[in-house]
Structure 1
Amino acid sequence: MAQPGSGGRAVTVSDVQQLVRRKDEIEAQIKAYYEVLEDQKGVGMNEPLVDVEGFPRADIDLYQVRTARHNIICLQNDHKALMKEVEEALHQLHAREKEKQAKDEAEALAEARSQEQGQPRPFARVNEVTPGSPASLSGLQVDDEIVEFGSVNAHNFQNLQNIATVVQHSEGRPLSVTVIRGGKKVHVGLTPKRWAGKGLLGCNIIPMQR
């Protein structure tokens, strides 16, 4: 019998089931031939087929006994080879399932990382915005979570001085600010400038708790 999976085809559950059915058929045939031997005075596989004087036994059907014994030997050899095929097929099937599981886990991890990259990590939060200030006019809102403030992001942010430095160097020039608001990314054009209140922004920013 050709082994499932030969020729480059992957072993399937159906292949294994087919092998098991063939094994059951062989075992049934072996049992049937043993029953033939049992009916012939229970000669079995090793009882002599000649009498004490060396003549062929007349109390049994010699042809049936010889045929049954020959077929049992052939079928037992087939059964042994088939069991090796079953074992190999199960091994391949389990190995592929393990490989598929590892691949699924890798894909899930890659997807999670992709989503993580698609939604940058916030490093600071706006907890106060003064009405009429540059921050208020730009659309910045309380509880906006900042993921990008000019050149500052979660990867290079160390403390609030980083933001203060960017603000001082950007007076009168629009800054690209990206925030997470309600689970969505929002881009804000913020221009630090002098106004009636304190500072150049008119808002208060605090670091996110890590």
Structure 2
Amino acid sequence: MGLDTPLVDADGYPRGDIDVYRARSQRNRFRHLQTDHKEIKVKIEGLLDELAKKKDATKEKAQIEENNLRLAPKPKPKFDAATGKWVVKNWDGSVAGVNGGEQISFNDLTQNRDISAITEPSRTTVPVALVDGSTSDTRTTSTTSRRPFAKVDGVTHPSPAADAGMKVNDLIIRFGPLHADNNDRLRAVATLVPGVAEVNGKIQISVLRRRQQSTSTSEDNNIDYNDETQWEEAVLILHPRPFDGRGVLGCHIVPF
């Protein structure tokens, strides 16, 4: 017996082969359930519409924020000492211009990065003479970096260079990550310094100075710069920054 099966015979009398009362009760129960189902369905559809609107609003808000960030003025490029390159800021705060930049914060290029391990040649541990003539604790210096690539031919007083202890005739063998093989005729130095100054950073410099007791008169090109009896190495910390003079260093260096 279905929902539409007649409950009376052809003469209009209740059928004797079915339980008419039970059939009517079940049909009435079904109609109530059908009505409840429709009401619940309408409620679900309404809630889905509200949820979709909220998702669209959230997505639209995020899209607007992203567009605003993309259109906002970008800060000046920074020099990344880890790679030796200038980098720019992405809209999401990451770095563009270097591999893996999406995992680097433009606001802190040194975060979770070992800068000292990059672009460094082979290293060994040797005593290094300080500017004041005393000997520091054992420091790390390069075994291949004692070949000078620049010479200091002028130092302004006062200046960042003077504060660092730089002197006229100092022979530069290391300038941060730069050395005789990668300074590009000092062009890399000119690139490095402004970037470090912008982030208020410091540069470690290694210079050679002829020992006062040395009486050698050999031409510079024939000198053995690894001869510690004639040359002492000094490690200086240079803090490029504006001062009363020109530039941010206060010294003049020339290719050597």
Structures share fold, TM-score greater than 0.5: no
TM-score between both structures, scaled by the size of structure 1: 0.42
Q: Which has the higher strand share?
A: 2
Q: Which has the higher helix share?
A: 1
